[in-house]
Structure 1
Amino acid sequence: MSNILEVKNLTTHYFTAEGPAEAAGDVSFSVRKGEMLGLIGESGCGKSTVASSILRLIEYPGNIVSGEVVLDGKDLVSAKEKELEKIRWKDISVIPQSAMNSLNPVYTIGDQIIESILLHEDVTKKVALERTKSLLELVGIDKDRWKSYPHEFSGGMKQRVAIAMALSCNPKLIISDESTTGLDVLTQAQVMALMKDLQKRLDLSIIMISHDLPLVTSVCDRIAIMYAGKIVEWASTDDIVNDSRHPYSQGLLNATPDLLNPDKEVSSIPGTVPNLVNLPSGCRFKERCQYAMNRCSEESPALLEVKKDHHVACFLEEGDYRE
């Protein structure tokens, strides 16, 4: 299966009065055509920075220091702004964290979707309206509700509108940035089921950014786990759940209750994510890792392929190619 997106050695800094904060450090991963990839980690690990870097939407004092973001053979990091204006929304779109804040309260939801279509495609307003109605039906909303205002919708319905808007220009890739945060558990499940259904029906590629590991493992094909600005493990969802190799991945799984196994002991990961301005030398997880060795304070582990399509950045895995 071919890759639609390749992120190669991406490094993004925020330049502060205390010094540069490395929110993304030498990040590499890919997204396959028709795949849903989960990007997981605690708050402050750099997930949203990676998303903004992919779209070249990093604002001052942030800056992409190095690396490549290749979409269908085109490097977005070196692309000119006019090229990016054509790519954003049409080739890559975003489902924002809070649809309640992203929708304009003084315009109907239909007018907002129509505007995005007319802005990026050479079609008539009549065509844009018909597409808007089809999109609303696609996400489970009556097409006649296109004349409704955001305040007339529930939180879950607003999130469906945001999904419809993200689909409006038939993008190749959708980035969902914590798009179910703030919704109740039942509505979260409904929105995620909708996105999984759309992924299969439309052959969509999706990056699902979240701190909610159970939610992501229920819908994603592969998962990349970030810690303190770096990818520490990247594998199929099955391998992450049943054969996780990095101590941080294992810690996240152990901190997650299992409804099917109520006797499972839940344990937290001690400590907190390090300050990205004053990062520790060596492995960034060493202060919270029960397996830390002297080497972990001196060297930073590289992301190695420990078995087919399973990458881990941990010295415990060096030379270990178990099947």
Structure 2
Amino acid sequence: MMDYKKTLNDFIFYIIAEKGLLRNTVLAYKADVLKFINFAEKKRVPLESFEHNDITDFLWEMKTKGLKPRSIFRVMESLRQFYKFLNSEDLTENNPTLYLAAPRIPENLPDVLTFDEVDLLLNSVNDYDEVHVRNKAMLELLYATGLRVSELINLKFSDINLEDCFLRIIGKGSKERLVPFGNKAKIFIDIYLKKRKRCLSVDDHIFISRLGKKLSRIEFWRQLKNIAKNTGINKNITPHTLRHSFATHLLKGGADIRFVQEMLGHVSITTTQIYTHLDKDRIVQQHKKFHPRG
């Protein structure tokens, strides 16, 4: 019988070294597999002898404890990776996860701003002191590039090329991508940098607080909430709303989905495809325009 503690530690090393997963994902996988190991010990069945029914019993137990379909889906993926590891290490020839049916996950479509709402939001920052100009530059850059808020606040001077208007981004999984931005964003970044005080941070971040330190994501979120409140837009506007709007508006304008995938830093195109579901009007128009009986 395998040493479960050692096996779990080896598995964690495997998904860090071989898969390059993020810390939060690694912790989630570890917690899922630990629960699974505890279940196996309670059931008194060695993992190498587990069958399909044993896996479904474990998933059912997770469901009865209140786990939602999305979380159960993640647990299933954790177990798939775990058994893949066990197989690769010749710890078992068995893989009871092969034919697991994924739970039906309700589709939560993100809030997206219209073109007019984006204009209203971006044009609502009119003051020209350092903080307001910083906020304006950040909002323009978010909408111009579709960055994640963590990528935005971590931008350094070495990441931006103002002359050619592109950013070098290290995203999830340490994947590097180049993201262009337009003239509007460039103009307000230039204005901000002329007003910006000397950065006190040794990391040389572009967007800083009043104290000259790197701006936190919480502070930027708070600033955005205050700006959005004054626009009267009746939507829950977060930094991610501009990312969603960026992707949706690009696709609505006819951009190739693989270009949008690259800009967003999505590993899988299926993640990007959610934005094609948001523009039902365009789908109807395209059908009417191109179908012979439209």
| TM-score normalised by L of structure 1 | 0.22
Higher relative contact order (CA 8 A, sep 6+): 1
**Larger fraction in helix:** 2
| TM-score normalised by L of structure 2 | 0.23
